[in-house]
């Protein structure tokens, strides 16, 4: 199934795609996290709504989609350096660093998340280095701790696309830690739909990112340094993951900071991230005031 969240006059409501329509799941479910938490019984209820032709429906075309997950119980979980070609393209900035022997995890604040067609915010007063990163994201469907890799995929509810827009100089400013340079408000498109795990093979899925029509990233998830079962096993080692938790799985090479000359996002750019069977994120970059009255300014 393909689940979505959409904006209606009464607020953001969950839905499931049925051909060219969206079957609305409210008031039975408040959001998609409630569907995920409901397990088999919830999926059966959704199936019954789809089969019932009198269910409330709206056209898929033109629907105002929100990010699939709109209720976060924790930060968005993220993976860095999970494609070796991406790790190597940035080696000039850290020539002595060896390849990690385990996945590199970090988090980003939920207020960074926006819908699949929402504007990506940029503000030169915050940073001049806004970079794109096409990624496959997964959403957990079952709670677990210290999950064996052989059981990892049983804990995945579904997959969607993400664009992990990053502010490179903020990453450097804060001790090389990535959280701050990945958490600026309204910078992380997620969606457009959450496709259940039974419909997606995450081991060989083509990802692509284009800026203003120019393809800048193109790769298969088979190029991941650590496959999804290993990511789940490592992330959950001693740490509980819960239904609705989101994990971004890393970006391939081609990011803007590693190009010569560097290529960063600016007001008016259009960024399109696509993935087989997952649709497309299509976002315009818009300049907004994020710095406000703050006296903090980055050094040149």
Residue at 240 is within a domain = yes
Looking at the structure, tell me whether residues 96 and 241 fall in a common domain: yes
> What integer pLDDT is reported at residue 300 of this predicted model?
55
- Return the DSSP state at 100: P
Specify the pairing of strand 279-287 against strand 120-122: parallel
Looking at the structure, tell me whether residues 140 and 245 fall in a common domain: yes
For residue 93, is pLDDT > 80? no
Query: What residue numbers bound the domain in which 255 lies?
Result: 76-287
Looking at the structure, tell me whether residues 217 and 93 fall in a common domain: yes
Looking at the structure, tell me whether residues 61 and 85 fall in a common domain: no
Overall number of domains in the chain: 2
Residue at 292 is within a domain = no
**Averaged over 187-209, what is the pLDDT?**
97
pLDDT digits (tens, 9 = 90+) for 135-186: 999 999 999 999 999 999 999 999 999 999 999 999 888 888 899 999 999 9
> What integer pLDDT is reported at residue 96 of this predicted model?
72
Residue at 294 is within a domain = no
Looking at the structure, tell me whether residues 127 and 26 fall in a common domain: no
Residue at 202 is within a domain = yes
* Percent of the chain topping pLDDT 90: 93
Instruction: Give the pTM.
Output: 0.97
Looking at the structure, tell me whether residues 46 and 193 fall in a common domain: no
Looking at the structure, tell me whether residues 132 and 277 fall in a common domain: yes
Looking at the structure, tell me whether residues 171 and 263 fall in a common domain: yes
Q: Are 29 and 14 within 8 A, CB to CB?
A: yes
Residue 24 dihedral angles phi and psi, to the nearest 5°: -75, 135
Please say which residue of 48, 66, 84 terminates a domain. 66
For residue 41, is pLDDT > 60? yes
Specify the pairing of strand 270-275 against strand 279-287: antiparallel
Residue at 297 is within a domain = no
Residue at 295 is within a domain = no
CATH of the domain at 200: 3.90.850.10
- Angstrom CA distances, 245 to 37, 143, 236, stand at 11, 9, 12
Looking at the structure, tell me whether residues 96 and 54 fall in a common domain: no
């Amino acid at each position: 199934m393909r689940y979505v969240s959409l904006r209606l006059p009464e607020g953001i409501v969950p839905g499931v795609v049925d051909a060219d329509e969206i079957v609305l799941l409210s008031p039975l479910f408040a959001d998609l996290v409630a569907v995920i938490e409901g397990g088999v019984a919830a999926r059966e209820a959704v199936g019954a709504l789809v089969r019932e032709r009198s269910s409330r429906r709206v056209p898929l075309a033109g629907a105002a989609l929100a990010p699939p997950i709109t209720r976060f119980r924790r930060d968005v979980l993220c993976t860095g350096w999970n494609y070796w070609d991406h790790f190597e393209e940035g080696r000039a900035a850290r020539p002595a660093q060896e390849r990690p022997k385990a996945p590199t995890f970090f988090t980003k604040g939920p207020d960074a998340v926006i819908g699949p067609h929402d504007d990506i915010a940029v503000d030169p007063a915050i940073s001049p280095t806004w970079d794109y990163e096409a990624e496959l994201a997964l959403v957990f469907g079952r709670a677990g701790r210290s999950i064996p890799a052989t059981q990892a995929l049983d804990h995945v509810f579904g997959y969607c696309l993400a664009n992990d827009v990053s502010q490179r100089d903020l990453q450097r400013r804060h001790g090389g830690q990535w959280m701050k340079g990945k958490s600026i408000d309204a910078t992380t498109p997620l969606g457009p739909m959450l496709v259940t795990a039974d419909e997606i093979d995450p081991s060989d899925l083509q990802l692509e990112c284009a800026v203003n029509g120019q393809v800048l990233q193109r790769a298969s998830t088979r190029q991941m340094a650590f496959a999804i079962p290993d990511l789940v096993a490592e992330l959950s080692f001693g740490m509980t993951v819960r239904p609705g938790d989101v994990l971004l799985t890393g970006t391939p090479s081609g990011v803007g900071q590693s190009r010569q000359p560097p290529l960063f996002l600016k007001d008016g750019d259009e960024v399109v991230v696509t993935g087989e069977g997952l649709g497309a994120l299509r976002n315009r970059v818009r300049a907004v005031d994020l710095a406000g009255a703050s006296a903090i300014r980055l050094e040149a």
